[in-house]
Structure 1
Amino acid sequence: MSQGNLSRKILVLGASGLIGRFVTDDLRARNFDVVGIARRFPASQSTPGDLEMPILSMDSASLARLLRDRGIDLVVNCLGVLQDGPGSDTRAVHRDFVARLLQAIRQSGRAVRVAHISIPGNAADDHTAFSQTKREAEQLIAASGVAYAILRPGFVIAPSAYGGSGMLRALAALSIDLPAREDSMPFQPVSVADIAATIAWLANRDSDDEAGNAVAWDLMQPQSVTLGGVIAQFRRSFGTATAFRITLPAFMLDLGAKLGDLASWLGWTPPMRTTAIAELRRGVQGNPSAWMAATGIVPKTVEETFGRRTATIQDKWFARLFLIKALMIASLAAFWIASGFIALVLSYDAAAAILTLHHFPPALVGPVTIGSSLIDMAIGILIVFRRTCVAGLVAGMGVSLGYMAGAAILTPDLWIEPLGALVKTGPAIVLMLVALLTLDNR
Structure 2
Amino acid sequence: MPKAIVLGGYGLIGLACMQALDKAGFEVCGVGRSMRSAKSVAPSANWIIRDIPTITTQEWLDILEGIDVVVNASGALQDGAKDDLEAIHVTAVERLVEAATTLPVRIVHISAAGVSETASTSFFRTKARADMILSSSARNWVILRPTLVLSQEAYGGTALLRAASALPLIQPIALPDAQIQTVYVGDVAAAVVASAQGKIRSGTIADITERDSHSFPELLAKVRRWQGWAPPVACPTIPAPLVGALGKIADLLGYLGWRSPLRTTALTTLADGIRGNPEVWRNAGGEACRSLDETFDLLPATRQERLFSRAYIALPLAIGTLAVFWLLSGLITLADPARAMSVLSERAAPSWMIAPAVLGGAIADIFLGIGIFWRPWASRAALGMLGLSSVYLVGSLVAAPDLWADPLGPMVKVLPGMTLATLVWLMLDQR
TM superposition score category, shorter chain reference: over 0.9
| Paired amino acid for 2:32 | A
Q: Does the 8 Å CA contact 1:156/1:192 hold for their aligned counterparts?
A: yes
275, 280, 284: which is aligned to 2:274?
284
Task: Show CA shifts across 1:96-144 (max 9, x none).
Answer: 111111001023xx22111111111262760211111110111111111
Superposition map of 1:53-72 within 5 A: 53-68=50-65, 71-72=66-67
Matching residue of 1:194: 187
Q: Is the 8 A contact 1:125 1:282 kept in 2?
A: no
Cα shift at 1:359: 4.4
Contact 2:33 2:51 in 1 (8 A): yes
Q: Corresponding residue for 2:15?
A: 21
**C-alpha distance in 1, partners of 2:356/2:396?**
16
User: Shift of the alpha carbon at 1:178?
Assistant: 4.3
Listed as ranges, the matches of 1:423-434 within 5 Å are 423-434=412-423
Alignment partner for residue 30 of structure 1, among 24, 27, 32? 24
The residue aligned with 1:112 is 105
Classify the secondary structure of the residue corresponding to 1:87: coil
Aligned-residue offset at 1:369 = 1.3
TM-score under structure 2 length normalisation? 0.94
Check 1:172–1:308 CA distance in 2 against 1; reply closer, same or farther (3 A cut): farther
C-alpha distance in 2 between matches for 1:374 and 1:239: 46
* Other-structure match for 2:320: 330
Residue type of the alignment partner of 1:22: A
1:387 corresponds to which letter in structure 2?
A: P
Residue in 2 that maps onto 1:240: 229
The alignment's TM-score, normalised by the length of structure 1, stands at 0.92
Matched-pair contact (CA < 8 Å) for 1:16–1:40:
no
- Mapped contact 1:39–1:54 kept (Cα < 8 A): yes
User: Quick check: 1:80–1:94 contact (8 Å CA) kept in 2?
Assistant: yes
Q: 1:112 to 1:193 in 2, by over 3 A?
A: same
Aligned match for 1:100, one of 92, 95, 108: 95
Map Cα deviations across residues 14-67 of structure 1 (whole Å, 9 max, x no partner).
Answer: 001110011111211222211111111424222331221233201111101111
Q: Which amino acid aligns with 1:44?
A: S
Q: Give, in angstroms, the shift of residue 296 of structure 1.
A: 4.0
Counterpart for residue 356 of structure 2:
367
Paired residue for 2:162? 169
Q: State percent identity of aligned pairs.
A: 34
Shift of 1:250: 2.8
> Post-superposition shift, 1:252?
3.0
Deviation at 1:243, TM superposition (A): 2.7
Aligned equivalents of 1:25, 1:122: Cα separation in 2: 27
Q: Could you tell me which of 287, 304, 315 is aligned with 1:297?
A: 287
Runs of 4+ in 1 over 6 A off after TM superposition: none
Pick from 125, 129, 147 the counterpart of residue 140 of structure 2.
Answer: 147
Distance 1:238 1:364 in 2: 55
* Maintained 8 Å contact 1:14/1:79: yes
**Is the contact made by 1:233 and 1:306 (CA closer than 8 Å) also made in structure 2?**
no
How many residue pairs get matched? 426
RMSD: 1.8
- Over 3 Å counting, the alpha-carbon distance change for 1:308 and 1:149 in structure 2 is closer
| Matching residue within 150, 157, 180 for 1:157 | 150
CA distance 1:89–1:142, shift in 2 (3 Å): same
Measured against aligned partners, the alpha-carbon deviations of 1:128-166 in whole angstroms (never above 9, x if no partner) come to 111111101111111114211111100000110111110
TM-superposed CA distance for 1:230, in Å, is 2.2
The reply on whether 1:379 has 2:368 as its aligned counterpart is yes
CA distances 1:327-375 after superposition (whole Å, capped 9, x unpaired): 211221222122111101x222322233334444444332221111111
- Give secondary structure in 2 for the equivalent of 1:384: coil
C-alpha separation in 2, matches of 1:230 and 1:307: 15
Gapped regions of structure 2 (runs ≥ 5): none
Residues 73 and 111 of structure 1 are in contact (CA less than 8 Å); yes or no, is this contact kept in structure 2? yes
